[in-house]
């Protein structure tokens, strides 16, 4: 495989992750975002609307669970055979006139894309909505190199004009309402009707007018890809507005950036995901625009077709026995729309390009849980399991979150020689539950707990690390005696029979009348 030397090295260091690292711990960022009442109102309305639409269209399919199983099985098989499938895809893509470039990390990917654009002599590009290019920070990098990148997806355009960052995988401007969008257009668009209203149709019309000249004049386009088909070398983009179709067909040069995990083995596999993806993402039965292209077709569409295959920590995630299924993600955002944490904090609190439940596992897996910027993300969850129920490819996000939390604790324990409060508590619990006599000894202190509760019969504050529990809840007063103490007091056995067992068994487990 040409230039693809990283596949055999699953733990290869990545030197530049781009926008995968958070800039501050999640608790700090979340606390700030929770104070934005407009944000919470916007998120609540949007996520509930998408969630309700999804439930209706999913209920139409009697074999929805079987389809989820199929999607999960296809992605698992893809990850198990990824090196071979990448080689197959490369052979088919290049045989049809495309050129593949392999990028280990964000820095390398940005440099490749920049060199390809410069080779055309152009200083402007139009872009299809792409999580991969957001992940590597391509727009910012191109700007530093004197190249202007224009987002053509409506939501991405809103975010770009407002000098903001996306806060949702599918709906990047989900944190803004239409009145805010109107203000952004009036302030940032070079030519716009000063009487523009916040009617969605009028806002969409203003965006079309703004972008039309870019579509017709652009010589270079940059896109992502939802899927790559190994058996033909075909790339796929699904979208709702038609802007992607314009970018994929009109320019002379097309540069696509795709994560190496986006492959599917064959065309027949695509049928499953063309049903899973739209229902899970936008609550639609099918995508309004599905574009597929295979290399170069003389006289039709771009004649200079490039594909940057991006690792950027994906092989590290693939090497994680428990976390590798996170690479099965098809970027539908269903997990975010049902997550009670995301609904209240929004995507910016996660810091990384990938917010919500999937971001809480995907970012630490690709950057490493020891990354100080991302080691708080696995705790950004109540572990309610709603994300697992909604995921169209059945990624067990709560299980991976617990796994990553364990890795985080282990990594910190290795650095700190003095035991923490949690270490001491766990050691104490280990001692208490190791023998019945140990537990019986602790039970003698139950009256102290009742005394601490007082007349209110609740404990309102615990010391040390346990204080976090009582910040938002009270603990009922413990009983004055344990079950063990009550039984010993009121049930003095006349024989050595063990209560609860049929027949008369002595304490040495030998039936009566039988020699031990």
Predicted confidence (pLDDT) per residue in 183-239, tens digit: 999 999 998 999 999 999 999 999 999 999 899 999 999 999 999 999 999 999 999
pLDDT of residue 324: 94
Give whole-number Cα distances, 317 to 5, 107, 335, 395, in Å.
17, 19, 19, 14
Rounded average pLDDT over 405-424: 80
Choose the weakest-confidence range: 353-362, 473-482, 492-501: 492-501
Pairing of strands 263-264, 289-293: unpaired
Say which residue, 149 or 450, is predicted with more confidence: 149
pLDDT of residue 508: 47
pLDDT above 90: percentage of residues in the chain: 69
Per the CB < 8 A criterion, the answer to whether 293 and 248 are in contact is yes
pLDDT of residue 9: 37
**Confidence grade of residue 476 (pLDDT, cut at 50, 70, 90):** confident
Strands (E), 97-199: 99-103, 124-127, 148-151
Per the model's pLDDT, the better-predicted residue between 221 and 170 turns out to be 221
Quickly state the pLDDT bin for 510 (edges 50, 70, 90). very low
Tens of pLDDT, residues 415-424: 666 777 888 8
* 95 φ/ψ angles, rounded to the nearest 5 degrees: -65, -20
Whether the per-residue pLDDT at 507 is higher than 60: the answer is no
Helices (H), strands (E): how many in the chain? 23, 12
Note the pLDDT of residue 15: 47
What whole-number distance in Å separates Cα of residue 124 and Cα of residue 139? 11
Of the candidates 230, 315, 308, 310, the residue with the CA atom closest to the CA atom of residue 264: 230
pLDDT mean over 430-444: 90
Residue 125, classed as helix, strand or coil, is: strand
What are 456's two structure tokens? 């209110």
- At residue 451, does pLDDT exceed 80? no
Q: What span, in angstroms and rounded, lies between the C-alpha atoms of 485 and 160?
A: 67
C-alpha to C-alpha distances, 38 to 41, 341, 505, nearest whole angstrom: 5, 16, 69
Across residues 404-421, what is the average pLDDT?
Answer: 81
Q: What is the average pLDDT score of the chain?
A: 89
Tracing tokens 């696995």 back to the chain, one arrives at 378
Mean pLDDT to the nearest integer, 262-269: 97
Residues paired with residue 249 on neighbouring β-strands, in sequence order: none
Please state the pTM of the whole predicted model.
0.83
What does the pLDDT average to over 140-151? 96
pLDDT of 6:
44
Q: With pLDDT > 70 as the criterion, what percentage of the chain qualifies?
A: 91
Q: Is 495 exposed, middle or buried, given 0-12, 13-18 or 19+ CB atoms closer than 10 A?
A: exposed
pLDDT above 80: residue 271: yes
| Most confident by average pLDDT, 38-42, 70-74, 374-378 | 70-74
Using pLDDT thresholds of 50, 70 and 90, give the confidence band for residue 279. Answer: very high
pLDDT digits (tens, 9 = 90+) for 97-137: 999 999 999 999 999 999 999 999 999 999 999 999 999 99
Tell me the three state secondary structure of residue 408: helix
In terms of DSSP bridges, do strands 475-476 and 458-459 run parallel, antiparallel, or are they unpaired?
antiparallel
**pLDDT band (50, 70, 90) for residue 64:** very high
CA-based max dimension of the chain: 101
Angle between helices 200-217 and 154-161 (to 10 degrees): 90
Angle at 475 between CA 472 and CA 481, to 5 degrees: 175
454: left (phi over 0), alpha (psi -120 to 50) or beta: left
Distances (CA, A) of 305 to 224, 230, 274, 328: 13, 17, 24, 26
Q: For position 416, what pLDDT does the model report?
A: 65
Separation of alpha carbons 189 and 85, rounded Å: 44
Residue 498 has pLDDT above 70, yes or no: no
């Amino acid at each position: 495989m040409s230039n693809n030397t990283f596949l055999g090295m699953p733990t290869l260091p990545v030197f530049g992750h781009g926008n995968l690292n958070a800039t501050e711990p999640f608790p700090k960022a979340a606390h700030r975002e929770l104070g934005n009442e407009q944000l919470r109102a916007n998120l609540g309305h949007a996520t509930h609307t998408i969630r309700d639409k999804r439930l209706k269209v999913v209920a139409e399919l009697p074999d929805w669970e079987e389809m989820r199983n199929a999607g999960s099985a296809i992605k698992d098989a893809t990850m198990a055979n990824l090196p071979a499938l990448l080689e197959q895809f490369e052979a088919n893509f290049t045989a049809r006139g495309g050129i593949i470039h392999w990028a280990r990390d964000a820095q390398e990917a940005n440099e490749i894309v920049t060199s390809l654009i410069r080779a055309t002599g152009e200083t402007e590009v139009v872009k299809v909505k792409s999580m991969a290019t957001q992940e590597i920070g391509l727009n910012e990098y191109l700007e530093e190199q004197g190249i202007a990148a224009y987002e053509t997806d409506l939501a991405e355009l809103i975010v770009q004009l407002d000098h903001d960052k996306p806060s949702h995988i599918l709906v990047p401007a989900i944190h803004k309402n239409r009145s805010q969008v109107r203000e952004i257009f009036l302030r940032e668009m070079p030519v716009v009707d000063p009487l523009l209203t916040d009617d969605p149709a009028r806002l969409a019309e203003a965006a079309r007018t703004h972008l039309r000249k870019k579509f017709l004049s652009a010589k270079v386009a940059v896109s992502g890809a939802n899927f790559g088909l190994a058996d033909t070398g075909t790339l796929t983009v699904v979208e709702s507005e038609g802007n992607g179709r314009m970018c994929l067909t009109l320019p002379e040069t097309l540069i696509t950036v795709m994560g190496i995990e986006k492959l599917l083995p064959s065309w027949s596999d695509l049928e499953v995901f063309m049903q899973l993806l739209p229902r899970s993402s936008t609550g639609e039965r099918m995508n309004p625009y599905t574009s597929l292209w295979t290399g170069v077709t003389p006289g039709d569409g771009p004649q200079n077709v490039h594909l940057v295959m991006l690792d950027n920590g994906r092989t590290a995630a693939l090497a994680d026995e428990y976390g590798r299924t996170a690479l099965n993600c098809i970027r539908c955002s269903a997990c975010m729309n049902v997550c009670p944490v995301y609904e209240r904090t929004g995507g910016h609190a996660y810091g990384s390009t990938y917010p919500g439940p999937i971001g809480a596992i995907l970012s630490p897996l690709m950057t490493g849980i020891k990354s100080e910027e991302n080691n708080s993300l696995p705790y950004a969850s109540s572990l309610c399991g709603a994300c697992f129920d909604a995921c169209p490819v059945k990624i067990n996000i709560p299980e991976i979150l617990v796994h990553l939390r364990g890795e985080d604790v282990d990594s910190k324990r290795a650095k700190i020689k003095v035991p923490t409060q949690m270490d001491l508590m766990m050691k104490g619990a280990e001692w208490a539950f190791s023998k019945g006599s140990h537990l019986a000894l602790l039970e003698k202190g139950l009256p102290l707990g009742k005394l601490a509760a007082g007349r209110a019969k609740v404990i309102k504050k615990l010391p040390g690390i346990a204080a976090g529990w009582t910040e938002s809840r009270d603990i009922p007063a413990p009983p004055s005696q344990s079950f063990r103490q009550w039984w010993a007091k009121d049930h003095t056995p006349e024989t050595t029979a063990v209560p609860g067992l049929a027949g008369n068994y002595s304490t040495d487990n030998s039936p009566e009348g039988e020699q031990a």
